C-alpha cells in the first residue's frame, strides 16, 4: 500500500491506497501468465461466469493449465466459484466468475449544473450512487479544484468501501480529449501534465478520462445491448449533440480521441452560430439548445405555453423546464420537438447508411421525453435511409438515461485497469 495525504478544504487525513503495481501483482508476475489471466478476466467481463473447459478452449490451453490459472485468481480474491453447473448428463462442471467483493471502480460524470458518482464492484454491480449533486461547471482552476474536492469527499465520507479497495476511477469530460494520452483539449487544459495524470496524482488512484458521449455509449452497450450485437451508435441529446460509437464491442475513439462530433457536422445554411464558433452545425437545429432557441422565438411571436402561462420569465426558462412541459403535454414544446426529431432523424439516416449498426440508442436529457422525440426520429429514418439498411437497425430510447454516463465511466475504469495490466 501507498500512503497519501489528502486535503479536503482545510482538513487533511492520511490514507492507504492500492497502487497500480499492487493490482497487477494480484494477477501474476510472469508476463505469459499475466496475459492469460487478463484474457480470462476480460472474457468473464464480457460473457459472465463460465466453466473451465470453455475457458480452456477460449485460450487454447489445457484444462489443467486453465485450472491452475483460475485457481490462482480465486486465491487472490479476483474470481469466485459459483458452484456446479446444472447438467442433464455427465459430470457437473464448476462455474467461475468475477468476485463482487474487495475491488471497486468509481465513475464520475458531470454536466453544466450537476455532478454524479457511482461505485461499482468488480463484477459490474452498482454498489452506491449519489446523483445530481448541485455543481456549476466552468473552465477554471477553481472548478477543477471543486471536482477534486467532491471526488475526495465522496470516497472518504459517502461510501462504506475503504479507499484502498478502489482500483481505478473513470471521469467523463466534456469536449475534445484523447483517452489514450489523458490530455483534455477543450477544458482544464492549463496543467503541464495530462489531465488524467493530474487526477491520478491528486487522488493517488489510477484515473482515466474519456468523452461523456463515448462513456454513455459504453455503459448502455455493456449493461443492456451486448446481446443485440456488437455495433451501436449512442446519440447524446443534451444541450448540445454528441455521438458515442461502439464497433465490434469496443468504444471507437478515432486516431486522437476526437470521434463522435456529430453535432458539429455542417448541415445548414441557417446563419445560426454554433457554440463552436461556426455556422450551420447540426446541433443548431437538432439539440437541446435548438429546442430552447426555437421555443423562445415562438413565445416572442405570441405562441402560448404552460411555462409562460405560469408566469416564468423567458430569460429564466431552462431545458429542464421544456422537458417537464413536454411530459405535461405542452403543445408548443411537442411541436418543436417534432421539428428537432425530424432533423435529427434525417441525419441519423446518413449514419445508419454508413455504419449499418445493430442498435441506435437515443440518450441524454432529451431522451426523457420518450416517444415525443423517438417517433419523429423513427419516421425520418424510414424516409431518408435505405430500406434494407434501416431494417437491420433497432432504434431505442436509453434505458439507463441519467445513469448512462456515470455507469459507462465505471465500466471504462474497470476495462482500462484490466488492459493496463499488460501495457
Q: What is the DSSP letter of 93?
A: P
Furthest CA-CA distance within the chain: 77
- Sign of the torsion formed by the C-alpha atoms of 354, 405, 248 and 180: positive
Which numeric CATH code is attached to 104-213+405-422?
A: 3.30.420.40
Please report which confidence band the pLDDT of residue 16 belongs to, taking 50, 70 and 90 as the band edges.
Answer: low
| 8 A C-beta contact, residue 352 and residue 390 | yes
pLDDT reading at 183 higher than 80: yes
Nearest partner of 404 among 230, 211, 256, 138, judged by Cα: 211
For residues 366-390, average pLDDT: 95
Instruction: State the Cα–Cα distance between residues 208 and 414, nearest whole angstrom.
Output: 10
pLDDT recorded at residue 17: 65
| 8 A C-beta contact, residue 248 and residue 265 | no
Instruction: State the Cα–Cα distance between residues 158 and 160, nearest whole angstrom.
Output: 7
Assigned C-alpha cell, 347: 441525419
Please report which confidence band the pLDDT of residue 8 belongs to, taking 50, 70 and 90 as the band edges.
Answer: very low
pLDDT recorded at residue 240: 94
Instruction: State the Cα–Cα distance between residues 238 and 272, nearest whole angstrom.
Output: 18
pLDDT recorded at residue 5: 44
Instruction: State the Cα–Cα distance between residues 420 and 423, nearest whole angstrom.
Output: 5
Of 255 and 229, the structure prediction assigns the larger pLDDT to 255
Topology (CATH) of 224-402: Nucleotidyltransferase; domain 5 (3.30.420)
Residue 134 burial by Cβ neighbours in a 10 Å radius (0-12, 13-18, 19+): exposed
pLDDT recorded at residue 136: 93
- Sign of the torsion formed by the C-alpha atoms of 260, 261, 262 and 267: negative
Domains of the chain, residue spans: 20-81+94-98, 104-213+405-422, 224-402
Residue 156 burial by Cβ neighbours in a 10 Å radius (0-12, 13-18, 19+): middle
Matching fold, domains 104-213+405-422 and 224-402: yes
Instruction: State the Cα–Cα distance between residues 275 and 266, nearest whole angstrom.
Output: 13
Assigned C-alpha cell, 333: 414544446
**What is the three-class DSSP state of 76?**
coil
pLDDT digits (tens, 9 = 90+) for 329-338: 999 999 999 9
Q: What do you get for the CA distance between the two ends of the chain, in Å?
A: 21
- Please give the mean pLDDT across all residues of the chain: 92
Indicate the pTM of the whole model.
0.91
Assigned C-alpha cell, 267: 448541415
Topology (CATH) of 20-81+94-98: Arc Repressor Mutant, subunit A (1.10.10)
Amino acid at each position: 500500500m501507498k500512503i497519501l495525504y489528502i486535503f479536503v478544504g482545510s482538513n487533511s487525513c492520511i490514507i492507504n491506497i492500492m497502487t497500480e503495481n499492487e493490482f497487477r501483482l494480484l494477477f501474476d508476475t510472469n508476463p505469459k501468465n499475466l496475459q492469460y489471466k487478463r484474457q480470462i478476466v476480460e472474457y468473464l467481463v464480457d460473457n459472465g461466469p463460465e466453466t473451465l473447459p470453455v475457458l480452456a478452449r477460449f485460450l487454447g490451453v489445457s484444462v489443467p493449465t486453465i485450472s491452475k490459472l483460475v485457481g490462482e485468481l480465486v486465491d487472490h480474491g479476483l474470481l469466485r466459484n459459483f458452484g456446479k453447473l446444472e447438467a442433464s448428463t455427465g459430470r457437473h462442471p464448476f462455474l467461475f466468475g468475477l468476485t463482487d467483493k474487495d475491488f471497486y471502480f468509481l465513475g464520475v460524470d458531470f454536466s453544466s449544473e450537476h455532478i454524479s458518482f457511482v461505485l461499482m464492484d468488480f463484477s459490474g454491480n452498482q454498489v452506491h450512487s449519489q446523483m445530481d449533486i448541485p455543481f456549476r461547471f466552468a473552465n477554471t482552476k477553481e472548478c477543477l479544484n471543486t471536482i477534486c474536492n467532491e471526488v475526495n469527499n465522496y470516497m472518504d465520507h459517502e461510501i462504506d468501501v475503504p479507499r484502498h479497495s478502489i482500483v481505478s476511477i473513470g471521469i467523463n469530460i466534456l469536449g475534445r480529449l484523447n483517452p489514450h494520452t489523458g490530455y483534455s483539449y477543450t477544458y482544464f487544459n492549463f496543467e503541464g501534465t495530462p489531465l488524467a495524470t493530474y487526477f491520478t496524482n491528486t487522488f493517488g488512484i489510477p484515473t482515466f478520462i474519456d468523452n461523456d458521449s463515448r462513456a454513455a455509449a459504453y455503459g448502455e452497450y455493456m449493461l443492456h445491448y451486448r446481446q443485440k450485437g456488437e455495433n451501436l451508435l449512442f446519440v447524446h441529446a443534451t444541450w448540445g449533440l454528441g455521438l458515442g460509437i461502439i464497433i465490434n464491442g469496443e468504444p471507437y475513439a478515432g486516431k486522437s480521441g476526437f470521434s463522435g462530433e456529430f453535432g458539429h457536422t455542417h448541415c445548414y445554411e441557417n446563419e445560426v452560430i454554433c457554440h463552436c464558433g461556426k455556422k450551420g452545425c447540426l446541433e443548431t437545429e437538432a439539440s437541446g439548445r435548438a429546442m430552447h432557441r426555437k421555443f423562445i422565438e415562438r413565445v416572442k411571436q405570441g405562441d402560448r405555453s404552460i411555462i409562460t402561462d405560469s408566469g416564468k420569465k423567458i430569460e429564466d426558462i431552462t431545458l429542464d423546464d421544456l422537458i417537464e412541459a413536454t411530459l405535461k403535454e405542452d403543445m408548443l414544446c411537442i411541436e418543436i420537438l417534432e421539428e428537432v426529431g425530424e432533423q435529427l432523424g434525417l441525419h441519423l439516416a446518413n449514419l445508419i447508411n454508413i455504419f449499418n449498426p445493430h442498435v441506435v440508442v437515443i440518450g441524454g436529457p432529451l431522451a426523457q421525453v420518450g416517444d415525443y422525440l423517438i417517433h419523429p426520429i423513427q419516421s425520418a429514418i424510414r424516409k431518408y435511409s435505405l430500406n434494407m439498411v434501416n431494417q437491420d437497425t433497432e432504434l431505442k430510447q436509453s434505458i439507463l438515461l441519467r445513469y448512462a454516463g456515470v455507469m459507462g465511466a465505471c465500466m471504462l475504469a474497470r476495462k482500462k485497469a484490466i488492459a493496463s495490466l499488460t501495457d
